[in-house]
Amino acid sequence: MKYFIIFLALSCSHLNPIDSAIIHPVFDSQYVCSEHYAGQLKELGDALGTDCIYQSFVEQDGRKWLRAYKNEGHKNQDWFGWQKNVLSPISGEVVRINLNEVVNKPGIMGKGMASFVMLKGDDGLFVLLAHLQNIKVSKGDKVEAGEVLGLVGNNGQSWHPHIHIGAWKDNKPLQIRFDQEAMAKFKSR
């Protein structure tokens, strides 16, 4: 066992961690995220991006399960995140908005660029949130972390209702991490 631990420590000692951005949670409830691995997508906003899906507990036969949707998930309304508030991950300025009014059907990939809000923090951090609908902010608005930007949608290149998040600074993509203390505040409500 001692030699395994030494080997493990030596084999990992050459790794350089990817720079990251710590952001405010995008939902005020349970959610799960899947990360795009390094090199999977190249464009800023997509590179090292994260896809987050709102979750809810479902009780079935006396057991509780964390799920993304009810029924078979074939309708957007089946997804627990559909039209839920999307919170700003940083304080900053809205620098760009794109609208895609086409609503995808779950399980069928849509086309075109997704609706999105791009934010710029005072420290030069950019964060893009995609697949929103009913966007509540305008270009030039100042927003605070935790402020509602819009609602969860299903548009652009998306299979189902979720929010894609990408972050970068100085034209370098960043891995996303969520502020655990801000998440704890939602749990205590």
Domain ranges of the chain: 20-183
Q: Looking at the domain that runs over 20-183, which CATH code has it been given?
A: 2.70.70.10
pLDDT, tens digit, 9 for 90 and up, residues 76-125? 999 999 999 999 999 999 999 999 999 999 999 999 999 999 999 999 99
- Average pLDDT over the chain reads 91
Instruction: State the Rg of the chain over Cα.
Output: 18
Question: Counting every residue, how long is the chain?
Answer: 189
> Which distant-in-sequence residues (6+ apart) come within 8 Å of 96 by Cβ?
116, 117, 118, 139
Q: For residue 57, is pLDDT > 50?
A: yes
